[in-house]
């Protein structure tokens, strides 16, 4: 089910003439489920993320939503992360990537500790949600902060 969204939004001096852009009602529903106010920019960013098969960088989102303001997109991503809607991936490239979380994630409590795959050919990063990161039991004087597991190689699309 899709609906048309029409409006004009001023964000940091940029005028977005959003005329009859189809915005997925699923995006609005996901935002409301996480108690996130569904502003025009949040709906556009989430709809953009919903259309991606791999994790993407802030620059990728910025290019895809040009002329959207980088700071506004970053703040939107930060809000999404704090509310368990997306997770940030460190794939070893030095550029954080963003991907949607599983539905079980909640505010400040991510439940999708899965493996990520970075393709060295196409430079895309993929979530592998069926491959969970094994639980690591640390010595008593070590304190866990975060965990990340990225496998690097050639993806199925590039190996064909």
Query: Residue 54: its pLDDT value, please?
Result: 95
Nearest by Cα to 98 from 86, 106, 113: 86
Write the pLDDT tens digit of every residue in 41-68: 999 999 999 999 999 999 999 999 999 9
Q: Is the pLDDT of residue 158 over 50?
A: yes
Model pLDDT, residue 106: 75
Q: Which band of pLDDT confidence, cut at 50, 70 and 90, is reported for residue 123?
A: very high
Query: According to the model, what pLDDT value does residue 144 have?
Result: 85
Instruction: Decide if pLDDT at 12 tops 60.
Output: no
Task: Supply the pLDDT for residue 26.
Answer: 85
Q: Which residues contact 45 (CB under 8 A, 6 or more apart)?
A: 61, 65, 73, 76, 77, 80
pLDDT band at residue 24, thresholds of 50, 70 and 90?
low
Looking at per-residue confidence, does 103 or 126 come out higher? 126
pLDDT at 11: 45
Average pLDDT, the chain: 85
CB 105 within 8 A of CB 112: yes
Lowest mean pLDDT among 15-19, 67-71, 137-141: 15-19
Q: 40-50 and 70-82 are packed helices; what angle lies between their axes, rounded to 10 degrees?
A: 70
pLDDT at 23: 55
Q: Coil, helix or strand for 60?
A: helix
- Confidence (pLDDT) at 110: 72
**pLDDT tens, position by position, 63-96:** 999 999 999 999 999 999 999 999 999 999 999 9
């Amino acid at each position: 089910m899709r609906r048309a969204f029409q409006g004009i939004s001023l964000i940091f001096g940029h005028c977005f003439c959003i005329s009859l852009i189809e915005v997925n009602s699923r995006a609005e529903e996901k935002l409301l489920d996480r108690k996130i106010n569904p502003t025009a920019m949040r709906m556009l960013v989430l709809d953009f993320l919903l259309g991606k098969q791999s994790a993407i960088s802030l620059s990728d989102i910025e290019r895809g939503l040009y002329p959207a303001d980088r700071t506004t997109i970053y703040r939107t991503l930060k809000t999404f992360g704090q509310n368990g809607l997306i997770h940030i991936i460190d794939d070893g490239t030095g550029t954080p990537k963003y991907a949607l979380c599983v539905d079980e994630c909640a505010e400040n409590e991510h439940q999708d500790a899965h493996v990520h795959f970075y393709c060295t050919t196409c430079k895309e990063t993929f979530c592998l949600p069926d491959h969970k990161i094994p639980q690591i039991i640390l010595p008593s004087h070590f304190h866990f902060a975060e965990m990340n597991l990225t496998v690097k190689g050639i993806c199925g699309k590039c190996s064909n």
